[in-house]
Amino acid sequence: MDFKVELSQNSIQELKNIIQEAIRNEIKNLFPDFSNKSNDEQVFLDRKQTCKLLGCSLTTLYHYQKDGRIPFYQVGRKIYFDKAELINHLKVKSKF
């Protein structure tokens, strides 16, 4: 039995929004200290986006994580970085 689903551009965007909201809610459940921030302030970056922000390689980012030099959150096997928290941390610790 073949099953094919076609989505319009609006449906794709709506699906993305639903998934993003579900991830935000799950992260809030796993990390209650996030609840004091508004959703507008919360921007979570994946490893590649964080490397681009920091101007470093994935290997260097891994070492920063392993050494506890930057804050990160793990949900399952995925690693996320709160952009505002990361920038604030980098301001406090101006040099790695």
User: Domain map of the chain by residue range?
Assistant: 9-92
The CATH class of the 9-92 domain is mainly alpha
Query: Given a cut of 70, is residue 93 above it in pLDDT?
Result: no
Ranges assigned E (strand) in the chain: 44-45, 73-75, 78-82
Q: What is the pLDDT of residues 39-56, one digit of tens each?
A: 556 789 999 999 998 899
Describe the strand order of the beta sheet including 73-75 as a list of residue ranges.
44-45, 78-82, 73-75
- What is the value of pTM for the model shown? 0.53
